[in-house]
Amino acid sequence: MPTVLGLDSSTQSISAVILDTDSGELLAEAGVNFGNDLPQYGQPSGYDPSGARGEVHSNPMMWVEGLDLLLGKMKAEGVDFSHISAVSGSGQQHGSVYLKSCFGKKLASLDASQDLKDQLAGCLTRTSSPIWMDSSTAEECAEIAETVGGNDEVCRRSGSIMVERFTGSQIRKFFKTEPQAYAETEVIHLVSSFFASIFAGKNVAIDHGDGAGMNLMSLASGEWDEALVSATAEGLAEKLPAVALSATLSGSISSYFVEKYGFSSECETVIWSGDNPCSLIGMGAAMPGKIVISLGTSDTLFAAMSEAKTDPQGFGHAFGNPAGGYMSLICFKNGSLAREAVKNEFDLEWSAFEKEGLAETPIGNWGLMMLPFYEPEITPLLDTGGPIFSEEGERSAAQVARAVVEGQFLNMRLHFSWLEVEPTRISITGGASQNDGIAQVIANVFGVPVDRLDVPGSAGIGAGMRAAHGVGGDLTDLESKFSQVQEGSTVNPEEGAKEVYNAMLPGFKGFLESQSG
Ligand code: XUL
């Protein structure tokens, strides 16, 4: 079994893991943080903070420069890329990159003595990429839904109602506002397929996992949905790459990586997927039965599904499962940035969110509830203009620290019921999952044990596992090696906690509804 490279291009960073799929060892890991390592782009959290009217865009050349920086750093640290048999990756979902016809030609003849950024910058027709945090396309969502016959029909076709952060409405907005640049666009990639193309040295396909997050793919057939594509923008069918199974091989690695970083010219490339589908694999949740909560810039809850189920309320989504079949996904925009906002506002350390910190306040916070929406929330769709509390008055830092996490997970519990699964355990991943206090609140709110897995970043590990799967590796074997519960990491619910939250939930629901207008 091979040594593989898994990359993860996320909102705030790009990182890599090298896995030995024989021994189950993590051979190397490294990362580049866009804010810290590439401050010249002025995007401290990985996106342009000056976006107006809900626009959130990133500079795709910052991502590309991040990749060169990452591989250069690893090489300088002595990492030998020549043993890697296969590479794949994970991209933040929904973000899109708009390219001229020269992109394909440039990829086929990249010069290893120059940087990717200098060679590819001239191929963009749109210098910025709308990303998943963007909420500026309500109008376009409504237009597409109306053309296709309403949101129920969009959901039946694509697995989700029209969603502002999904790629379709973003493409329509570009088509309407910059028709000339749209016309010059030969290909529109997702973050995942953009990077996959760079590695393969040619334009490659979008996979079913990430493709389903565009409001353009038919969930039933796994092909582009003609009605949705033509309702989105004129001539779009010709600008979309093919859509393919996640385990699709895309040929040997581009000579750029062979010459510059020492990869073997026989290293295979496997098409990339979205971060949540990759995390599903990395968390060992490819088969139905496991619920995963990922605590990142966004918090997500996902699980494999044996059949494609859709959320009647429209907040949840059905995507392709990279292992075959489907997965559900619910995304909460106010994840780590909201927790961080509380930490910064009260000048707290993360330890304030640990068990000892949260122990200063009781489970249920004396009835204090918070809608922890520092950014307009997407589940549910709600713009409260900042966090709001159920009670007026003075609040201690400890109370607010508890309130933000309780609010986040009560909201999550309220919005996952359409999956109709009664979890018996939950696996958690992402930066904040190592925080015992936050893990305890999750266990208490859901009333089940919470496991931490031995994987440092489930999207990157999942990408590596997908690379191995693409060249014939067995997913069950890979899961047994890379997706094990970290010893001693399980957090059990505290006695009586679930009852407190059961009692709080109707009040929390009412509080949310009172703000929805
Ligand atoms: C999922 C979503 C986010 C991004 C974050 O629908 O929008 O989880 O994938 O990278």
Q: Kindly list the domain boundaries of the chain, sorted by start residue.
A: 3-277, 285-452+487-517
The Cα–Cα gap between 510 and 208 comes to 37
* Cα of 241 from ligand 1 centre, angstroms: 21
> Are the CB atoms for 110 and 255 separated by under 8 Å?
yes
The Cα–Cα gap between 236 and 232 comes to 7
Residue 517: what pLDDT? 67
Among residues 443, 424, 435, 214, the alpha carbon closest in space to that of 335 is found at 435
The residue type at 27: L
Fold category of 3-277 in CATH: Nucleotidyltransferase; domain 5 (3.30.420)
Q: Phi first, then psi: what are they for 313, rounded to 5°?
A: -80, -15
Q: Phi first, then psi: what are they for 29, rounded to 5°?
A: -150, 145
Buried b (16+ CB within 10 A) or exposed e, 190-210: bbbbbbbbbbbbbbbbbbbbb
Residue 92 near ligand 1, beta carbon < 6 Å: yes
* Cα of 279 from ligand 1 centre, angstroms: 11
Shortest-distance atom of ligand 1 to CA 163: 6
The Cα–Cα gap between 494 and 297 comes to 27
The Cα–Cα gap between 238 and 234 comes to 9
Residue 306: what pLDDT? 87
User: Which residue has a Cα nearest atom 1 of ligand 1?
Assistant: 331
Residue 1: what pLDDT? 57
Q: Per residue in 373-430, pLDDT tens?
A: 998 999 999 999 999 999 999 999 999 999 999 999 999 999 999 998 889 999 999 9
- Sorted by sequence, the CB contacts under 8 Å of residue 510 that are 6+ apart come out as none
The phi-psi region of residue 385 (left if phi > 0; otherwise alpha if psi is between -120 and 50; otherwise beta) is left
Buried b (16+ CB within 10 A) or exposed e, 479-495: bebbbeeeeebebebee
The Cα–Cα gap between 339 and 236 comes to 39
Residue 334 near ligand 1, beta carbon < 6 Å: no
In this structure, what DSSP letter does residue 476 have? H
Query: Per the structure block, which two tokens stand in for 216?
Result: 């353009």
Q: Which of 13, 58, 331 to mutate to test the pocket of ligand 1 (most atoms within 8 A of CB)?
A: 331
Residue 276 near ligand 1, beta carbon < 6 Å: yes
Residue 257 near ligand 1, beta carbon < 6 Å: no
- Measured in whole angstroms, how far is the alpha carbon of residue 71 from the centre of its chain? 22
Residue 285: what pLDDT? 95
* Cα of 12 from ligand 1 centre, angstroms: 12
Segments of the chain with pLDDT less than 50: none
Q: What is the pTM of this model?
A: 0.94
Q: In 286-329, where does DSSP find H-type helix? A: none
The Cα–Cα gap between 12 and 240 comes to 26
> Are the CB atoms for 404 and 339 separated by under 8 Å?
yes
Topology alike, domains 3-277 and 285-452+487-517: yes
> Are the CB atoms for 211 and 96 separated by under 8 Å?
no
Residue 58 near ligand 1, beta carbon < 6 Å: no
Cα angle 479, 87, 280; round to 5: 35
Rg of the chain on CA atoms, in Å: 22
Shortest-distance atom of ligand 1 to CA 132: 7
Query: Per the structure block, which two tokens stand in for 289?
Result: 């039965």
Alpha-carbon distances of 422 from 38, 41, 201, 496, rounded to whole Å: 44, 45, 45, 19
* Cα of 93 from ligand 1 centre, angstroms: 5
* Cα of 276 from ligand 1 centre, angstroms: 7
Alpha-carbon distances of 86 from 83, 137, 196, 344, rounded to whole Å: 9, 38, 12, 41
Among residues 322, 244, 330, 331, the alpha carbon closest in space to that of 281 is found at 322
In this structure, what DSSP letter does residue 81 have? G
Residue 380: cis peptide before it, omega within 30 degrees of 0? yes
What CATH number does the domain located at 285-452+487-517 have? 3.30.420.40
Cα angle 225, 231, 235; round to 5: 85
* Cα of 395 from ligand 1 centre, angstroms: 32
Residue 298 near ligand 1, beta carbon < 6 Å: yes
**End-to-end CA separation in angstroms for the chain:** 57
Residue 136 near ligand 1, beta carbon < 6 Å: no
* Cα of 132 from ligand 1 centre, angstroms: 6
Residue 13 near ligand 1, beta carbon < 6 Å: no
The Cα–Cα gap between 143 and 368 comes to 40
Residue 94 near ligand 1, beta carbon < 6 Å: yes
Q: Which of 300, 317, 337 to mutate to test the pocket of ligand 1 (most atoms within 8 A of CB)?
A: 300
* Cα of 168 from ligand 1 centre, angstroms: 15
User: Which residue has a Cα nearest atom 5 of ligand 1?
Assistant: 92
> Are the CB atoms for 216 and 229 separated by under 8 Å?
yes
Query: Per the structure block, which two tokens stand in for 142?
Result: 């409504």
